[in-house]
A and B are shown apart, each in its own frame.
Chain A
Amino acid sequence: MWKRLAPEILQEVKKMKNESHIYKRVSKIVFGLMSPKIIRKRACAKIVTAELYDREGYPVDGGLMDVRLGVIDPGLRCKTCAGKLKECTGHFGYIEFARPIIHIKYIPYVLNFLKSTCRECSKLLITDEKIKNLKKGSGGDSVRKSSSSIKVCPHCKAKQYNVKLEKPSVFMENDKKLSPVEVRARLEKIPDCDVEKLGINSGMARPEWMILILLPIPPVTMRPSITLESGERSEDDLTHKLGDIVRINQRLFENINSGAPEVIIEDLWELLQYHVTTYFDNTLAQIPPARHRSGQPLRSLTERIKSKEGRFRHNLAGKRVNFAARAVISPDPRINFNEVGVPKIVAMELTVPEKVTEWNLDWLKGLVNNGADQYPGVNYVFTSDGKKRKVNEETKEQIIEELEAGCVVERHLLDGDISVFNRQPSLHRMSIMAHKIKVLEGKSFRLNPGVCTPYNADFDGDEMNLHIPQTEEARAEAEILMQVQTQLISPKNGLNVMGSIHDAITGNYILTKHLTFSREEAVNILYSIGVDDIGCMKFNKGEVSGKDVFSALLPKNLDFIGASKDGEEVLIKKGRLIKGIIDKATIGEDNGTLIRSIYTKYGEDVGIDTVGRIFKLGLEVLLDFGFTTCLSDTDLPKEVLVKNDNLIKNVEKEVEELIERYNKGKLEAMPGLTVTETLEGEVLKLLNRLRDEIGHRVFDCATDDNSTLLMARSGAQGSFLNLAQMSALVGQQSLGGGRIRDGYTKRTLSLFKRGDLLPDSRGFIRSSYKKGLNPYEYFFHSMTGRDSLMDTALRTPKSGYLYRRLANALQDLKVEYDGTVRDSNKRVIQFIYGGDGIDVSKSEGGTIDVKRIVKEVMQKI
């Protein structure tokens, strides 16, 4: 193999040599410090003057814009590598400091070194024996800790003083300033073996390199100047800062050479230290930030890298794309599940590249003729030789004339184009789905409320992103793998994530329960949702039942046996609903058995189509039938109210008896509980039973035309409990698993007696929402309300992060062909997936109903 390939590889190598790039494989990365030697060796120029350009505007030799550091002007060539603009990536230069300067980012390390070494001999301040006992790789902290109390060097017996850091960059020993020269001298003397003990790889770094005597000057390509419209040049922040450094450094040199007084030299040195510090980091707390003349702070090296707007998070990790849009979303139940409503203004900005062929030439010419400002138009045209041309009134005619097969036209979005729709956080694969474009008026993205669940979206101001795939492959992939209908079944449990919700369920419930229509009404409703095949409907004296209207949506040969929400049989034979009421259990999300049945038997497209039509039918029926919820839904007959009152009184009496027994010490503790806990548990049990009982009564006396009850029964929204709370009583408020506990001394509120254990004083609300809560009931209700609000606000980010860590830890586990679950190193995690080998995405809620499958298969035979 090798021999056969060798000549080809050789050729590759030859090709590579001709190119300006050399390909190398990175085998390892080592982090270390740059020694002055390396800085000098890597530098291409020594910078000696703060001047940038001469009178002709040409960069000065030895200045900060020296052409040896790379070029940023088109036309010039780099003096180091002879490359032009964009060919030359730039080269480093250096300056030599007149006096050493402390690197602000290494100050903590320098302090550590000074504290743990001798001031005379620079050896570690601990005995050799102790050094031996030190754990390897424990870093410098342990050495410093054990040497902090040592007053005399164990090696040379020199007396030690405490070294302090006076922020930001001055070291003090016994109230005497240590100059960087002295600091550097001490660090230089630390032997290599001791450096290792201080947690530094002595091969890669020496402590004294943390005190700068040379400063690398970054290439000009890293700090390009901008030419303003007025022709003036505006330099980069770094260039400004480096200019300051070089200028002060030169003045320091001159003053030292001319023998200026020490005070002046000290001042200049301090100034140079300030400039170098703010060059590295301009956000330090103790230092006033260096500013432009306009007063805005300079952007230092640290700021370029750090935080959200820094190089990593903004430029490297942040991926931005073209052909994307973001807008507020709003509902439109009249569009299909796999459609997305796009505002016209967005459709005119986003484009699809359309290749010109002889078959679509005329059509595209028409689009180009519309221009960029008229809706089905064209923004840009790529001619066959690859030139991009903007379409406007002037260029239009010429472009149309030259349009030929081979050109590419970037036309506006049209109905039916494929788009990728997404809502953050994208936690599962249904968070990004492909939709077909539907261009609408208005300014928001429109989506069918049925797809809110997979996106976890609502319409209280949510925004979503839309992307337009630009290649044929991407479009095909999105259409085949990502469209809404392919995502109907959730991979997490095999249940349908989309289905009818809210009014759509109520509508179908009413329809299949008792409605009948005249022929005209039935046809009208069905036609308005796009069904024109009504052959299956049977008329009885000119009337048709709601069940038959519903059946018109079903596939002609569908057989289905299921159950409604309250367990009654739902029977569909040959596409006709014979028995049963359609509700949440058959067409809802997560447990829509009918939806899954159609989906598995007839496929994705029929599946999503039927779901969409059932959804629309529900809404259309409600529109026709009229549906509202009102105050009278919560009305109860007088005798029921009296009965409820009596019931409450009885239970309260029972509670009183319990408390009396408790007070007398006659209450027996349950196993594992104290007497008080037992009492609380018993009282809670009684009160909850009371609420349930009253709930049942309310439910029993509610009439069939009660809309609130209808919604609860169909599973659309709300429960019997909600109805009971509105009409009869709210019930016990629970906080932290029990009744409301004392907030004051031995009582919950100051209007109760101390030690009161009666329901009223512990958060039992005997009023209904309709009647209104009295002040203390209102207070207890607010307590639980606030608690649940806090709970959601605190728990959401926590559980989100937990889930993210879990997903990241499990992401490359895979079920192999032998059925085992393995990680990327082929280590076994599970011998059979989940311990039972069930593919949950093909199951129903994690289980497989073998009996039902057998029954179905047998029926077919």
Chain B
Amino acid sequence: MADNGESNIQNHMLVPKHIKLSEEQAAIILKKYNVSKKQLPKIKQKDPALTGLDAVHGDIIEIIRNTPTVGKSSYYRVVV
């Protein structure tokens, strides 16, 4: 299903971009907000938005959303 471009919900205009962070990037985020992974918001591993990202438990996903006021805004979720 995911290889069919049209049915891939990641390409839908209402689904914000999900990016898996590398370990270094993840470490930077944790440091920046001074949090442990437990204190981050969560996302399920089988979440449809994560298909094809190969995200495993403990990965941090960056979600880039569009806001009407400031343009792009980042949100982070840890995969559970």
Contacts and interface: CB of A to CB of B under 8 A. Distances in A.
Interface of A: 818, 820, 822, 825-832, 835-838, 846-848
Interface in B65-80: 65, 67, 69-70, 73-76
B69 A847 contact: yes
23 contacts: A818-B34, A820-B33, A826-B35, A827-B38, A827-B39, A827-B40, A828-B35, A828-B39, A828-B41, A830-B75, A831-B33, A831-B75, A832-B73, A835-B65, A835-B67, A835-B70, A836-B67, A836-B69, A836-B73, A837-B70, A838-B69, A846-B69, A847-B69
Nearest to A827: B39
Interface of B: 33-35, 38-41, 65, 67, 69-70, 73-76
Contact of B33 (A828, A837, A838, A848): A828
Contacts of A832: 73
Contacts of B35: 826, 828
A835 B34 contact: no
Contacts of A835: 65, 67, 70, 73, 75
Q: Which of A822, A828, A830, A832 has the most CB of B within 10 A?
A: A828
Contact of A828 (B40, B65, B67, B70): B40
Contacts of B65: 835
A847 to B, nearest CB: 6
Contacts of A825: 39
Contacts of B38: 827
B73 A829 contact: no
Contact of B41 (A818, A826, A829): A829
A828 B65 CA distance: 17
Contacts of B41: 827-829
A383 to B, nearest CB: 58
Contacts of A828: 33, 35, 39-41, 76
A826 B39 CA distance: 7
A831 B75 CA distance: 6
A410 to B, nearest CB: 53
- A-B interface, 6 closest residue pairs, ranked by CB to CB distance from nearest: A836-B69, A836-B70, A835-B73, A827-B39, A835-B67, A836-B67
Nearest to A838: B69
A857 B76 CA distance: 37
A831 B34 contact: no
B39 A818 contact: no
Contacts of A827: 38-41
A831 B34 CA distance: 12
Contacts of B74: 831
A832 to B, nearest CB: 7
A828 B40 CA distance: 5
Contacts of A829: 41
Contacts of A848: 69
A630 to B, nearest CB: 46
Contacts of B69: 836, 838, 846-848
A4 B76 CA distance: 45
Contacts of A837: 70
B65 to A, nearest CB: 6
B68 to A, nearest CB: 8
A822 B33 CA distance: 11
A848 B39 CA distance: 31
A829 B67 CA distance: 17
B70 A831 contact: no
A718 B63 CA distance: 46
A820 B30 CA distance: 13
Contacts of B73: 832, 835-836
B74 to A, nearest CB: 7
Q: Which of A831, A832, A836 has the most CB of B within 10 A?
A: A831
Contacts of A836: 67, 69-70, 73
A831 B67 contact: no
Nearest to B70: A836
A831 B76 contact: yes
Given A826-B39, A835-B65, A837-B70, 7 more contacts: A827-B38, A827-B39, A827-B41, A831-B76, A836-B69, A836-B73, A848-B69
A848 B68 CA distance: 12
A496 to B, nearest CB: 21
B70 A818 contact: no
Nearest to A826: B39
B32 to A, nearest CB: 8
Nearest to B35: A828
A727 B75 CA distance: 56
A848 B35 CA distance: 30
A838 B71 CA distance: 13
A837 B75 CA distance: 13
A838 B69 CA distance: 9
Nearest to B40: A828
B16 to A, nearest CB: 11
Contacts of A847: 69
